[in-house]
Amino acid sequence: MTDISRRDFLNEAGGTAAGVALASGLAQAQDSSRKRPRNILFLMTDQHRPFAMGHVGDGNAKTPTLDSLAASGMSFHRTYCQVPVCTPSRTSILSGRYMHSHGVLQNGYMPRKELVTFPQTLRQNGYKTGCFGKLHVNNRDELDWDELDQGKIVRKAEFPDMLGGTIRGDLPLGQPAPFPLERHKEWQAKENTIRFMRENRDEPWMIQCSMNKPHPAFQPPKEFWDQVDRDQLEVPSYPEDDLEDVNPEHLARMQQRKLENLTEDQVRDGMQGYYGNLAFCDAMFAEVVAELDRLGLRDETLIVYASDHGEMLYDHRLWTKFTFFEQSVHVPLIFSCPGLVPQSEISQSLVELIDLFPTFMDVLGLETPDSVQGMSLMPVLSGERDQHRDVVHSEFHFGRSRVTMRMHFDGRFKFIDNGTETIPELYDLEVDPREITNLAQVDEQGARVAQLTAELREWSQQDVVQGLRRRRRQE
């Protein structure tokens, strides 16, 4: 991780139109009295690695808009999702609850109607709510959103060269999209967000502008594929026995998808497509932020950026998510709001994505429902406190084995309970940031492993959701 100064932040942000608008919008507001915003613009992507952004040192990431938001606000560099898979993670964000407390264990599950969410709560308090792009949470649309549009699907019958959303080693891992920019759901989400802002400019609103990418298919519009310098992409290297002392499900998943023994060209195809996807998302966000400025709403809008989970991108020779390695469970988080959030601040506080719900309520002066398990970040945003959490937790349910994995991370030691049939994992990120050496079998760590196993299993039994969990067939 690379920390940079306020001057470096602003210099990098100033290189783009979006950066100038975002940074200059805060120049005078920084010293003024703090005020409550009227609106919330929640920008979101799917599967964004924690530090795949220009302002934290990833030269492959073309993210001038996110860099500008970071320059105008506060970045949280140790934020963790509660489930490293789409629907359960997004349900945790919406409800402010852990997976075992909302019951959505996998992508095939639907949340209960009784679950209280932040868009529902805002709507009940007079806010117009809109979600444009990927929601991936079903069964509650009429409760949460005044308007929901997830975009039109492009059919493979129309474009045979289109790649699927699940990458496989017997297909290209990445390539330019065969259809025009306007057919991408990201472009549609941007257009709908701008329209909704224009139509509701005179009343308070909350918009979730949510991109499908950089999630597979790693197939961006060609102009964004071409932005990535393929020769600069570095194929990750790990010891040959790297996965021998971790949960065997990870390797089994790669074998099932024929993702072993890839060539360097195949890996670079996937990496180029991933970074092209990310550049495309950033460009769509730039248009949304520019419209917010044009409408004169920037000073009264809290902008938040986050992702539901990360992407392995061949680290540990793995792809996609489903693990508690940093690249999968650690996510970016940025807050920007003139007069409320200081400029170019970096927080090293441990944060969970369930903390977004109570933070939104706190920022707007609304009461947080009792059902929420998250903790408001407002004391950190306001500078009243440097620390937020002592520990962060995450969970993941393997459908085939019907085993739930659980993670406990205190900022240094990451412990993973893989269930009773598989060895646990323990990593000291202070000396082993790449998480190569599993310390769980080391005699000196026996007491720590026993204690954390007991704590995690006790934690997972708190506020367990009751009743049937309904499922649906995934499209």
Please provide the DSSP assignment of 305-373 as one string: EEES----TTGGG--SS-S-SHHHHEE-EEEE-TTTS-TTEEE--BEEGGGHHHHHHHHHT-PPPTT--
Q: Can you name the CATH fold of 6-27+36-392?
A: Alkaline Phosphatase, subunit A (3.40.720)
Q: Taking 60 as the threshold, does the pLDDT of residue 463 lie above it?
A: yes
pLDDT in tens, 300-341: 999 999 999 999 999 999 999 999 999 999 999 999 999 999
CA angle 134, 63, 24 (to 5 degrees): 110
Q: In percent, how much of the chain has pLDDT > 70?
A: 90
CA angle 277, 294, 333 (to 5 degrees): 40
According to DSSP, the β-strands at 79-80 and 330-331 are antiparallel
Q: Is the pTM of this model over 0.85?
A: yes
Q: In percent, how much of the chain has pLDDT > 90?
A: 86
Q: Taking 70 as the threshold, does the pLDDT of residue 475 lie above it?
A: no
What is the spatial distance between Cα 451 and Cα 417, in angstroms, rounded to a whole number? Answer: 11
Kindly state the helix (H) or strand (E) to which residue 256 belongs, with its residue range.
helix 248-256
Q: Taking 60 as the threshold, does the pLDDT of residue 299 lie above it?
A: yes
pLDDT in tens, 132-166: 999 999 889 899 999 999 999 999 999 999 999 99
Mean pLDDT of the chain: 91
What is the spatial distance between Cα 163 and Cα 225, in angstroms, rounded to a whole number? Answer: 15
Q: How many beta carbons lie within 10 A of that of residue 376, not counting itself?
A: 19
Q: Can the peptide bond before residue 217 be classed as cis, meaning omega within 30 degrees of 0?
A: yes
pLDDT in tens, 250-296: 999 999 999 999 999 999 999 999 999 999 999 999 999 999 999 99
Tokens found for residue 305: 């950026």
Tokens found for residue 449: 């492993």
**DSSP-based three-state secondary structure for 258:** coil
pLDDT for res 398: 79
pLDDT in tens, 53-69: 999 999 999 999 999 99
Higher model confidence: residue 425 or residue 403? 425
pLDDT for res 248: 92
Contacts of residue 257, defined as CB under 8 A and 6 or more positions apart, other chains included, come to 166, 167, 168, 169, 319
Domain locations along the chain: 6-27+36-392
Angle between helices 17-24 and 264-294 (to 10 degrees): 50
pLDDT for res 34: 59
Q: Which residue is it, tokens 């224009």?
A: 198
pLDDT for res 110: 87
Q: Taking 50 as the threshold, does the pLDDT of residue 179 lie above it?
A: yes
Q: Taking 70 as the threshold, does the pLDDT of residue 412 lie above it?
A: yes
Q: Using pLDDT thresholds of 50, 70 and 90, give the confidence band for residue 35.
A: confident
pLDDT for res 17: 41
Q: Using pLDDT thresholds of 50, 70 and 90, give the confidence band for residue 401.
A: low
Contacts of residue 380, defined as CB under 8 A and 6 or more positions apart, other chains included, come to 74, 347, 349, 386, 387, 388
**Which ranges constitute the DSSP H helices of 96-212?**
99-102, 118-124, 141-144, 185-199
**Do residues 61 and 52 touch, judged by C-beta distance below 8 A?**
yes
pLDDT for res 466: 62
Angle between helices 264-294 and 185-199 (to 10 degrees): 10
pLDDT for res 24: 37
Q: Which residue is it, tokens 């964000």?
A: 93
Q: Taking 50 as the threshold, does the pLDDT of residue 192 lie above it?
A: yes
CA-nearest of 364, 420, 329, 424 to 79 is 329
Q: Taking 80 as the threshold, does the pLDDT of residue 474 lie above it?
A: no
What is the spatial distance between Cα 15 and Cα 19, in angstroms, rounded to a whole number? Answer: 7
pLDDT for res 119: 98
Q: Is 450 exposed, middle or buried (0-12, 13-18, 19+ CB in 10 A)?
A: exposed
Which residues are paired to 404 by β-bridges?
397
The string of DSSP letters for 59-107 reads: TT---HHHHHHHHTSEEESSEE-SSSSHHHHHHHHHHT--HHHH---ST
**What DSSP designation does 409 have?**
E
